[in-house]
Amino acid sequence: MLDNKTIILLLILLIMLSLTTVITIYIIINIYIMKKNKVKRINSGNISQKTESSSIENLPSGNSSTENYIGPYKIIKLIGKGASSKVYLVTKDNKNFAAKLFQHKDPELLERFKREIEILKQIKHINIVQIFDYGESNGTPYLILEYVDGKTFDEIYPNLTILQKIDIILEISNALNYLHNKGIIHRDIKPENILVDKDLKKVKLTDMGISRIVYWKPITHDGQVLGTLAYMAPEIFEGILTDPRIDIYSLGITMYEIFTNRVPFEGNPSEIINKHMKEAPIPPSLINPNIPSQLEKVIMKCIEKNPERRYKSISKLIDDLIFVKETIKKL
C-alpha cells in the first residue's frame, strides 16, 4: 500500500503532466491557425495580382499604365473599332469625348491616321465631328473627337419618316458643301459614317480617314482603291479621285438605300464594280412606291454614271432637296 505522501506526489505529477499536455495542444493549435492564415494572405495576394494583371491586359494597346487612360483622358468604355483603330468613350474635366486610338503596324495606315488629324485640324463645321486634341499615349497615336450620344444613320433610318430622312441628308449635304469649298473630298460617304444623336437634333459626318485634299499627293499605291464598294462612284475604278462629284454619287447611293432599304448594286466585289460602271440601277419607286417622284429624280441624278450628268455641285443638290421637302410638306 502506498502511503499518503506518495499518493500526493503522484497526484501532483499527474496534474503537471495534464497541464503540459494542454499547453502543448494549445501551442500546436495556434501554430496551425497561424500557418493557415498565412496561406490565406498569400492566396489573397495572388488573386489581387491576377486581377491587376487582367486589368492591364484589357487596356488599349500602347498604354502600360495600371489606370485606364489614353493620355490624360480616362477610358469609360469601347464604343467602336475599325481595321486600324479603336474608338473609346473617354472623359476629362467632367466632359465626354471620343478617343480614336491607332492600332496597327502598317506605316501606310499610320500615315493615313496622321493625315486625318491634319484634315480635321482645318475643319470646323456644325455637321462635322470636331477634333479637340491629339497626341501619343506611350508611343501610340490618338486623336480626341467630339462625342455624339446617339447612333449611326444605318441603325435608325428604318424607323424615320421621309421628312426626317431628308432633313438628315440636308445636314450632311451642308457638311459636304463646306468640305468641297475647302478643296476636301470625303470619299467614304455612307450611312455608317453619319452620326445622329438621340433627339435627331445633331447630325455629324465622321471618319475622315481616307479624305483627300485635292492638292495633296496620294498616300495609296497605284491601283489601290479606298472606300466602300457599294457606295463608290464608277470613275474611281478608272483612277479619278479628285472630283468632288465622287461624294455626290456616294450621297446618292446613301439616299437610295435609306429610302429603299437596299443599295442598288450588290454581289461580290468584281460584280459590284461592274454594276457601278455598266448596269443601270432599278428606279427606287419600283422598290418603294411611297417615294415621291421629285425625290426619285434627285436620287437618280446623283447616281448618274457620267459625272457630267450629275449635280455640278452640292449646293445645287441642296436647293432641289429643299424644294422636295417643301413639296412633301404640302401634300
129 against 35, higher pLDDT:
129
The reported pTM is 0.75
Q: Which residue has the higher pLDDT, 22 or 298?
A: 298
CATH code for the structural domain at 150-330: 1.10.510.10
DSSP code of 13? Answer: H
Q: How far apart are the first and last CA of the chain?
A: 130
Which CATH topology does 69-146 take? Phosphorylase Kinase; domain 1 (3.30.200)
Q: Angle 314-330/245-260 helices, nearest 10 degrees?
A: 30
> Which residue is catalytic, options 3, 149, 188, 197?
197
Q: How far, in Å, CA of 186 to CA of 314, rounded?
A: 13
150-330 has the same fold as 69-146: no
Q: What is the mean pLDDT of residues 320-326?
A: 98
In whole angstroms, give the CA distance from residue 235 to residue 305.
8
Instruction: Please tell me whether residue 205 adopts helix, strand or coil conformation.
Output: strand
> Is residue 138 very low, low, confident or very high in pLDDT (cuts 50, 70, 90)?
confident
CB atoms within 10 A of CB 145: 22
Residue 103: pLDDT band by 50, 70, 90 thresholds? confident
Helix axes 245-260, 162-181, angle to 10 degrees: 170
What pLDDT is stored for residue 67 in this prediction? 60
Cell of residue 278, nine digits:
455598266
* Nearest residue to 253 (alpha-carbon basis) of 275, 224, 271, 270: 275
Q: Between residues 117 and 133, which one has the greater pLDDT?
A: 133
Section 7-21 average pLDDT: 60
User: Distance (Å, rounded) from C-alpha 308 to C-alpha 240?
Assistant: 13
Return the minimum-mean-pLDDT range out of 32-46, 188-202, 217-231: 32-46
CA gap 226, 169 in Å, rounded: 23
Burial status of residue 58 (CB atoms within 10 A of its CB: 0-12, 13-18, 19 or more): exposed
CA distance 249 to 152: 20
Query: Mean pLDDT over all residues of the chain?
Result: 81
pLDDT tier at 47, thresholds 50, 70, 90: very low
Q: What percent of the chain has pLDDT over 70?
A: 74
Alpha carbon distance 105, 219 (integer Å): 16
197 an active-site residue?
Answer: yes
* pLDDT tens digits, 155-178: 999 999 999 999 999 999 999 999
Span 269-286, mean pLDDT?
Answer: 96
Q: List the chain domain ranges.
A: 69-146, 150-330
Lowest mean pLDDT among 167-181, 188-202, 219-233, 253-267: 219-233
pLDDT of residue 227: 67
Over the Cα atoms of the chain, what is R_g? 34
Instruction: Please say if the pLDDT value at position 277 is more than 80.
Output: yes
Residue 268 reports pLDDT greater than 90: yes
So what's the pLDDT on residue 159? 97
User: Who contacts 212 (Cβ-Cβ below 8 Å, separation ≥6)?
Assistant: 184, 185, 187, 218, 241, 242
Q: Are 294 and 307 in contact (CB under 8 A)?
A: no
| Rounded to 5°, angle at Cα 248 from 194 and 309 | 160
Band of residue 118 on the pLDDT scale cut at 50, 70, 90: confident
- In the chain, the DSSP E strands lie at 69-70, 73-81, 85-92, 95-102, 131-137, 140-146, 150-152, 184-185, 194-197, 203-205, 212-213
Can you give the pLDDT at residue 241? 82
Give how far Cα 232 sits from Cα of 129, 227, 281, 307, Å: 22, 7, 14, 12
pLDDT of residue 26: 52
Spatial contact of 292 and 321, defined as CB atoms under 8 Å apart: no
Evaluate if residue 308 carries a pLDDT over 60.
yes
**pLDDT at position 165:** 98
Q: Which are the contacts of 124, defined by CB distance < 8 A and separation ≥ 6?
A: 130
Cα 64 from Cα 68, distance rounded (Å): 9
Average pLDDT over residues 1-21: 60
pLDDT for 83? 73
